[in-house]
Amino acid sequence: MTRLEVKRSMLASIVPGLASLGKKGLAGWLVVIGTLIVVSIVFMTLIAPWITPYDPSTRGINVGRPLTPPNPQFPFGTNDLGQDMLSRTIAGGSVMLQVAVLSVIICIIIGVPLGLFSSYVGGMLDRTTCLVMDSVYAFPGLILAIAIAATLGRGVVNMALSIAVVYVPSYFRVIRSQVLSIKETPYVEAAKSIGAKNRTILFKYILPNVVPSIVVVATVNFADAILTAAGLTFIGLGVEVDIPDWGWDLANGRRLLPSGVWWVITFPGIFIILLALGFTLVGEGLSELLNPKLAER
């Protein structure tokens, strides 16, 4: 199968799925709209190398006169280095998306097993983990991320790590509260009474019922990670200047804004908000759709 065919078959399976979601009322539509926003931005970022009119990296310096306002040649204007803002906006999501995906993966790898085991086993282990998690949770998230990022240094992986540390407690708390209630349900008791081992109970009876909440937390986590990543780059803890990035442009644009240059900050800003909004919509919609009580109807 060629790549195009794969894409086509994926589309074919996604589109009817989305269409049927629309029938589930407002929540369904939130998911549909959110997914459309996110997918289009991701797609735009992926094909950026082929569609950007100019090179968005440092090699594209002085393609136009610095600080040209939006005009037919540069629809989004240029920045103080003379780079095309349209090209930078098209390509600038890549770092953020990488950071967000990576941080969500790290969070799931650490937070989910921790939440499952700690709350299932209970006792001292649970109390200690809770204490640690709560103290991390109590910290203002962005400040903690900044502190960690400053220690670890620049780079996509380090940004993802510093964001993950902030979000692991959210996963932990959500999973823990779920496991604590599922643990007491008759069907877990029924599993015990048929002689199921703890491992079986955890993975066949508890985990499948926690997955919906994990999905919801992950989407919210995505949205927050985007904003935090933007924040980290904004204060200079992000990536090298060379790589086009909305966060970097945001910081740059803020510097230029007082002198009346509004276009450098506006367009990347809109896209950050759009991306975060997309993930939030998906999260809100899913949390309603996956709520087991509502699903019963």
Partner 1 sequence: MSDAFYMRWREMNRTEIVRVENLKKYFPVEKSFLEKLLTRTRGFIRAVDDITFSVLRGEVFTLAGESGCGKTTTGKIILGLVPPTSGRVFFRDREITNLKPEELRLLRRRMQIIFQDPYASFNPRMKIGDAIGHPLEIHGLASGLEKRKKVLSMLERVGLTPPEQFIELYPHQLSGGQRQRAAIARSLILNPEFIVADEPVSMIDVSLRTTIIDLMLDLKRELQLTYLFITHDLAVAKYISDRVAIMYLGKIVEMGEKEEIFSNPLHPYTQALLSAIPVPNPDRKRRIIELKGEVPSAIRIPMGCRFHPRCPFAEEACQKEEPELTVVSASHLVACHLAKGSEHA
Partner 2 sequence: MEKQLLAVEGLTVEYWARRGRVRAVDSVSFTLDRAETLGVVGESGSGKSTLGLSLIRLIPPPGRIIGGHLWLEGTDLLKLREEEMRNVRGRKIAFVFQDPMTSLNPVKKIGEHFVELIRTHEPKTGREEALRRAEKLLNDVGIQSERINDYPHQLSGGMRQRVMIALSIALNPSIVIADEPTTALDVIVQAKILDLLKNVQNVYAMALILITHDLSIALERCNKILVMYAGQMVEYASVENIYNKPQHPYTRGLLKSIPNIELAEQKLEAIPGSPPDLLNPPRGCRFWPRCPSSIGKCREREPQPVETEPGHFVRCFLHEVAGNESN
Give least dist CB 296 to partner 2, A.
11
Give least dist CB 67 to partner 1, A.
57
Give least dist CB 188 to partner 1, A.
8
Residue from 172, 205, 234, 263 touching partner 1 (CB under 8 A): that is 205
Give least dist CB 189 to partner 2, A.
23
Please tell me whether residue 121 binds partner 1 under the rule CB under 8 A: no
Query: Which of 24, 154 has the CB closer to partner 2?
Result: 24
Query: Which of 5, 296 has the CB closer to partner 2?
Result: 296
- The residue count for binding partner 1 (CB under 8 A) is 19
Within 10 A of 2 (CB to CB), how many other CB atoms are there? 7
Please tell me whether residue 123 binds partner 1 under the rule CB under 8 A: no
Please tell me whether residue 190 binds partner 1 under the rule CB under 8 A: yes
Residue with tokens 């969070």: 107
Q: How far apart are CA 115 and CA 119, in angstroms?
A: 6
Query: Which of 37, 112 has the CB closer to partner 1?
Result: 112
Please tell me whether residue 194 binds partner 1 under the rule CB under 8 A: yes
For residue 84, the cross-strand partners are 78
Give least dist CB 297 to partner 2, A.
6
Name the binder of 16 from partner 1, partner 2, none, CB < 5-8 A by kind.
Answer: none
Residue from 69, 71, 185, 294 touching partner 1 (CB under 8 A): that is 185
Please tell me whether residue 192 binds partner 1 under the rule CB under 8 A: yes
User: What 8-state DSSP symbol labels residue 206?
Assistant: I
Q: Which two tokens stand for residue 106?
A: 């790290």
For Cα atoms 218, 222, 224, give the angle at the middle one, nearest 5 degrees: 115
Are the beta carbons of 180 and 119 closer than 8 angstroms?
yes
Instruction: List the x/- string, 4-43, binding to partner 2 by CB under 8 A.
Output: --------------------xx------------------
Query: Which of 32, 175 has the CB closer to partner 2?
Result: 32
For residue 144, the cross-strand partners are none
H helices present in 122-193, as ranges = 123-138, 141-152, 156-183, 186-193
Q: How far apart are CA 219 and CA 234, in angstroms?
A: 23
Stretch of residues binding partner 1 (CB under 8 A), selected from 132-140, 153-161, 186-194, 222-230: 186-194
Closest CA to 264 of 82, 55, 19, 13: 82
Are the beta carbons of 191 and 205 closer than 8 angstroms?
yes
Please tell me whether residue 297 binds partner 2 under the rule CB under 8 A: yes
Per 3-state DSSP, the chain is made up of helix, strand and coil in percentages (nearest 5) of: 80, 0, 20
Residue with tokens 């037919």: 72
